[in-house]
Every structure is written in C-alpha cells, then in structure tokens.
Amino acid sequence: MFVDRLIHTLKSVIIAPTCPICGRRLESAESFVCISCQLAAPFTQLWHKEDNVMSRRFWGIVPIERAAAFMWFVESSPWRELIHEFKYHNHWFLAENMGYWFATELMRSDFLRDIDLIVAVPLHWRRRLSRGYNQSEYIAAGISHKSGIPYCFDAVKRSINNPPQAATQYIDRWQNIENIFTLTRPEALCGRHILLVDDVFTSGATLSTLAQAILKGCNGNVKISVATLAATRHLIDK
C-alpha cells in the first residue's frame, strides 16, 4: 500500500485533481469530491439508526450489533461507476478516499462506539493476484486512518476461490460462499468488537458467512458490526 500511495501522491502533485463524479477541477478547499456532488450524493443515513433495513437482513442468520452502508447503489449513477472504477480498473485510491469520507460521517453518530478492530472481507489469493489488490482493504484502511481504529489484515483468509457473487444468481449466493473463510489468527479477534468492511451489500451472504466463521472461531466471544460503501436498495428493501 505504501508504494501505491507514494505513486498516487506524486501524480496528484503533477496533475491537478478533479472530482471523480463530475470531472470538474477541484478547488483548493474541496477534498476528493466537489461540494456540488457531495450535496447530491445518495446517502443512506443508515448509520443514524441501529434498527434499520440493512441490519434486519441479518436477523435469524447471524447476530450483528450494527450495520450501515454509506450510499445507495443506484443503476446508471456516477457513484455506481465510481465503485466499478476502484473495484475493476485499478483506481484503488478512490476506495481509500471513500472509506475516509465514510468514517467522517460515521464519527458524527454513535456507530463506531466501542469498535476495537476493523477487518476487510478478504479476497482469495488467486483473485487478488489477478486484480492486484483488494478494494475492501483500501476502504478499511481509509476508515482506520480517519477514525484511529486499528485495521487487522491477517486474521482471516478466503480459503476457497468461489465464483464472484456478482456473477451468481441471487438465490444461489448463499451456496456459493459456504465455508469459504478460515481464521488464521483467532487470538487477534476474540473478545473484541469487530467492524467488517466490504464494498457493496447485496444479499448479505458474504458478510454473514464471514461473521459466522469469526463467531465459530472465537466460540462466540466476539461482537460484530458491518459497514459497506454501498447497498443495493431494491434488494435491501425486500
């Protein structure tokens, strides 16, 4: 990550930064996204209410303390395209900046209270090698940087290289991710309140499976909350 950040910093010195949403050159007082686009962003505001439509998706599946997404994943939206940029087109710095911005909003509520550790949903090493990075790790790093909450990157691994969830039918997603996570350092997680971080919340299958693996590996001696950058509204409101 250090080398990536250094290269990006050097580029930003040479090339004037622009808003990733509208493309307009950023003013000196603007950070990452221009003020106009910030005001028009499709925020969920879910972090202000513990009993929300996202947290209810985990009911009867896995015990979750709190859950929230930053924005709605809207079709044909430039915000959706931004997520695709950092997920598939090597623009990792967008993920880190979004994580930092998300944490800024979370810290205006009680959402991060008593969170001890941040854990990103891991990629299988083959997919990470193909993509070059894990976008969820950069989101987690951004949240950690702003909030000061430690980020743990080596306590859990993806032991099965399952097909991408985006390429799987909604009804098959739970079977697709069964038993794919393994705890490598349970001692780093047990007895703590963990914030699981991912990019997009659709069915909740991946996050639920990861939470179950952590709970099992810690014999239930752990609390878990969830934060994602986006959520697909048409599925979350079912």
Please state the three-class secondary structure of the chain as a single string.
CHHHHHHHHHHHHHCCCECCCCCCECCCCCCCCCHHHHHHCCECCHHHCCCCCCHHHHCCCCCCCCEEEEEECCCCCHHHHHHHHHHHCCCHHHHHHHHHHHHHHHCCCCCCCCCCEEEECCCCHHHHHHHCCCHHHHHHHHHHHHHCCCECCCCEEECCCCCCHHHCCHHHHHHHCCCCEEECCHHHCCCCEEEEEEEEECCCHHHHHHHHHHHHHCCCCCEEEEEEEEECHHHHCC
pLDDT of residue 169: 56
pTM over 0.95: no
Q: Where are the domains of the chain?
A: 13-41, 43-236
The CATH code of the domain at 43-236 is 3.40.50.2020
The predicted structure's pLDDT at residue 130: 81
Check residue 139 and give its pLDDT: 96
Specify the pLDDT at position 238.
59
| pLDDT score of 1 | 57
Query: Which residues of the chain, if any, have pLDDT below 50?
Result: 2-3, 5-14, 165, 167
Q: Tens of pLDDT along 204-214?
A: 989 999 999 99
Q: What is the pLDDT of residue 84?
A: 87
